[in-house]
Amino acid sequence: MIEARHLTKTFRDKKRGEIRAVDDVSFRVQPGQIYGLLGANGAGKTTTLRVLATLLQPTGGTAVIAGHDIVREPEKVRANVGFLAASTALYGRLTAREMIAYFGRLNRLPEAEIRVRIKRLADELDMHEFLDRRCEKFSTGMKQKTSIARTLIHDPAVMIFDEPTLGLDVMTARAIVRFVRDCRTRGKTVIYSTHLMGEVEKLCDIVGIIHDGRLHAEGSPAALIARTGEADMEDAFVQIVGAKEPA
C-alpha cells in the first residue's frame, strides 16, 4: 500500500548550507498494518511524512501510495491519503460539523453521504457533545478529534498521523490511540509518527527508527528489543541511534 523508494529531501540554509533532512529512506507498509516512524525531534520524521503526503516534493527518490506515484500523480495520492499533524489549525468561526462538512465538499462527496459520515465519525470519536459548537472555543482534545474527523471524512485507504497525541490529556490520548487501532481493524494502512515509546509498543506492527534523516533499523517492537538485548523499546531506541545520556 505504501512504498518509499530512496526518499531524499534537502533544504538550503544561508548559514548551514545544504541540510539533508531525509537521506535515502526506503520502507514498505502492507495493507492493514500500522507502521511506526520513531525518532527524536529533528530526526526527519515530519519531513518524511510531508513528502509522502505530497505537501513537499522530494529532492530525490519517490514513493508509491495506493498505486500512485507521489511525484507524477500527487492529486491521486491525496485522494487516498488522510494526513493529520499535531499542529493542524481549524477555522474558529465554524462549528465542528461545518468544518468536517467543508472538507467533505472539498473531496466532492454528496451532501447525503457527508451527513452519514459525520454521524459515524462523531459516534466513533465521541464528538456529539461539541459537534455544533464553534471551534474557537474548543479544548485541545476537541480540536484534535475534529481534525481527525475532517481528515477521515473521505474515507482514505491510507492514514498518516504525525504526533497525534501531542499535548493531549491522558484520557483523550487513550481515545486517539484506540481510534488509530480501530483504523487497522477496518483495513486501513497507517503510518504513525511519535516519540512516545508506550504508544509504539501498543500500536505498531513494524517500527522504523529514523535518526539524522536516515533509517537506522526496522522491525517489530519485540524484534528490535530482542536484537538489542535491552529490556524495553526506549532502551532499544537509545542503543540503535547511539544517543548519549546526559551527565
Q: DSSP per residue over 8-36, as a string? A: EEEEEETTTEEEEEEEEEEEEE-TT-EEE
CATH number where 38 lies: 3.40.50.300
What is the rounded distance in angstroms from the CA atom of residue 192 to the CA atom of residue 173? Answer: 14
- Looking at the fold, whether 2 and 102 belong to one and the same domain comes out as no
Q: What pLDDT, in 10s, does the model give residues 178-193?
A: 888 888 888 899 999 9
- Looking at the fold, whether 11 and 126 belong to one and the same domain comes out as no
Cβ contacts of residue 5 below 8 Å, gap of 6+? Answer: 26, 61, 62, 63, 64
- Looking at the fold, whether 148 and 165 belong to one and the same domain comes out as no
Q: What pLDDT, in 10s, does the model give residues 149-163?
A: 998 899 899 999 998
133 grid coordinates: 459548537
Average pLDDT over every residue of 55-59: 94
Q: What pLDDT, in 10s, does the model give residues 5-52?
A: 999 999 987 777 788 999 999 999 999 999 999 988 888 999 999 999
Q: What pLDDT is attached to residue 43? A: 86
Q: What pLDDT, in 10s, does the model give residues 67-122?
A: 999 999 999 999 899 998 866 688 999 999 999 999 999 989 999 999 999 999 99
Angstrom CA distances, 137 to 143, 166, 173, 240, stand at: 9, 19, 20, 43
What is the rounded distance in angstroms from the CA atom of residue 220 to the CA atom of residue 225? Answer: 9
Q: Provide Rg for the chain, Cα atoms.
A: 18
- Looking at the fold, whether 60 and 121 belong to one and the same domain comes out as no
What is the rounded distance in angstroms from the CA atom of residue 161 to the CA atom of residue 182? Answer: 14
112 grid coordinates: 447525503
Q: Which of 159, 232, 242 is nearest to 197 (CA)?
A: 232
What is the rounded distance in angstroms from the CA atom of residue 161 to the CA atom of residue 13? Answer: 28
What is the rounded distance in angstroms from the CA atom of residue 11 to the CA atom of residue 42? Answer: 13
Domain range for 60 is 1-80+157-247
- Looking at the fold, whether 19 and 42 belong to one and the same domain comes out as yes
Reading across the β-sheet that carries 68-69, which strands appear in turn? 17-29, 2-13, 60-65, 68-69
Structural domain tally of the chain?
2
The last residue of a domain, from among 155, 187, 211? 155
Angstrom CA distances, 16 to 20, 40, 42, stand at: 11, 21, 15
Query: Exposure string (b/e) for 181-213, b if CB count within 10 Å is 16 or more?
Result: eebbeeebbbbbbbebbebbbebbebbbbbbeb
Question: 20, 213 in Cβ contact below 8 A?
Answer: yes
- Looking at the fold, whether 171 and 73 belong to one and the same domain comes out as yes
Question: 2, 63 in Cβ contact below 8 A?
Answer: yes
* Residue 132 pLDDT > 70: yes
Q: What pLDDT, in 10s, does the model give residues 98-109?
A: 999 999 999 899
